[in-house]
Amino acid sequence: MEILFEKNRICTKTIIKKDVLKSKFFDLKTTYKKFMQKYIEKNFNETFGIVSLTSYFLLLKTRLYQENPNINIDVLITYDNENFYIRFNIIEFYDRDLSKYNNDQLELLYKNHFDENEKEVFNDYIKNIPNDEFLNNNIHKFINMMFNCDDLIKELKQKVSNKEMTLEQMEFEISKYFFGSFALSINKNLAVDELLEK
């Protein structure tokens, strides 16, 4: 991962194409693959992408903090027509509040005032942040873990068959499940090593 000095932050960035992330939802392990592919084709949008990526990287942030509570980062996710951009800002490094410096000061601090041990710790920390290739190859594990809804689909399909709800209502319930699952993941003590290890 490249270390950057931008917007008065030491940071690093990861990129995933929108169509690549969408394709990971198409690969959901489900009994109702055809139905889910139609659902994703109709409903996938920037909100879907941001919610899933935010949940994933907040889990990563929590694990990194557990490994070294002396380093603190924030995560910012943005997008354009083609990509999602995940930016990791290092805001605290041991006793240094890095939010107080401008770009030039941060670069000088990193290059000339971190001792060798500090640089090693800092660089090792950066290496634990998933790069583009790792994210592209592993985000599907997280999506499958958090969006396993076969039981719900079975129940909702039965209700549609019994005319207790419409197909539109069914899709709404699935969307509620989706956003709820990812939101809850932030508060769960999940076994995330398999999802985050390089």
Q: What is the DSSP string of 118-179?
A: HHHHHHHHHHTS--HHHHHHHHHHHHHHH---HHHHHHHHHHHHTTSS-HHHHHHHHHHHHH
The better pLDDT of the pair 63, 93 is held by: 93
Beta-carbon contacts of 184 under 8 Å, excluding residues fewer than 6 positions away, are none
> Percentage of residues in the chain with pLDDT exceeding 90?
40
Interatomic CA distance for residues 73 and 62, integer angstroms? 10
pLDDT at 29: 86
Return the structure tokens found at 195.
């999802």
The conformational region for residue 94 under phi > 0 = left, psi -120 to 50 = alpha, else beta, is left
Q: What percent of the chain has pLDDT over 70?
A: 91
Is 60's pLDDT higher than 90? Answer: no
pLDDT at 68 over 90: no
CA atoms of 127 and 64, how far apart (whole Å): 11
Q: What is the mean pLDDT of residues 77-97?
A: 92
Whose CA is closest to 75, among 28, 14, 18? 14
Contact criterion met (CB below 8 Å) for 78 and 13: no
* 45 Cβ contact list (under 8 Å, min separation 6): none
pLDDT classification of 196: cutoffs 50, 70, 90: very low
Q: Give the Cα separation of 53 and 123 in Å (integer).
A: 23
* pLDDT tens per residue, range 174-183: 988 888 776 6
pLDDT band at residue 192 under the 50/70/90 scheme: very low
What pLDDT, on a 0 to 100 scale, did the predictor assign at position 11? 93
How many Cβ atoms from other residues are within 10 Å of residue 104's Cβ? Answer: 10
pLDDT of residue 194 exceeding 50, the answer is no
pTM of structure: 0.82
Alpha-carbon distances, residue 65 vs 4, 18, 55, 79, 173 (angstroms)? 21, 28, 15, 26, 34
Decide: helix, strand or coil at residue 87.
Answer: strand
- Give me the domain span that covers residue 73: 4-196
Q: Comparing 79-83, 128-132, 161-165, 180-184, which segment has the lowest mean pLDDT?
A: 180-184
pLDDT(198) > 60: no
C-alpha dihedral sign at 149, 155, 160, 161:
positive
Q: Which of 4-8, 18-22, 90-94, 180-184 bottoms out in mean pLDDT, i.e. has the lowest? A: 180-184
Given a cut of 90, whether residue 163 has pLDDT beyond it is yes
Please give the tally of structural domains in the chain. 1
Mean pLDDT (whole number) for 79-96 = 92
> Would you say residue 126 has pLDDT above 80?
yes
